[in-house]
Amino acid sequence: MSPDNPVFTYLGTLLQSLKMSKASTEPQKKTAIDFDDEPDDWDKRIFSTGCAEENTKMNDCFYEKKDWRVCKNELENFKQCWKRQQNDKRTSMKDA
């Protein structure tokens, strides 16, 4: 059988048709990350402490430096804010 044979042509067309129908039934994969401007539960909890800014600075420092020892000032600022806001009483968290 040669490639010009009608059977090859038919099989090629059928195969292409199957590929196209499969592609149309598969769910589309997301290529972009969906960014949501709404605060999630974690954000809401952090904002409720009154120390969101200090928390962000502390986390940013650790993200950049990868060493908590370098972020002692940010950690201390967060701890002081936590105490000022009396979150230790609200959350039953004791100073370790």
Q: What is the pTM of this model?
A: 0.55
Number of structural domains the chain divides into: 1
pLDDT band at 81 (very low <50, low <70, confident <90, very high): very high
Rounded percentage of the chain residues whose pLDDT exceeds 90: 41
Q: Which region holds residue 32: left if phi is over 0, alpha if psi is between -120 and 50, else beta?
A: beta
Domain extent for 55 = 41-90
* Chain segment 33-78, per-residue pLDDT in tens: 656 678 888 888 889 999 999 999 999 999 999 999 999 999 999 9
Amino acid 43: pLDDT: 87
Question: Does a structural domain hold residue 31?
Answer: no
Question: Above 80 in pLDDT, residue 20?
Answer: no
Question: Does a structural domain hold residue 78?
Answer: yes
Question: Does a structural domain hold residue 54?
Answer: yes
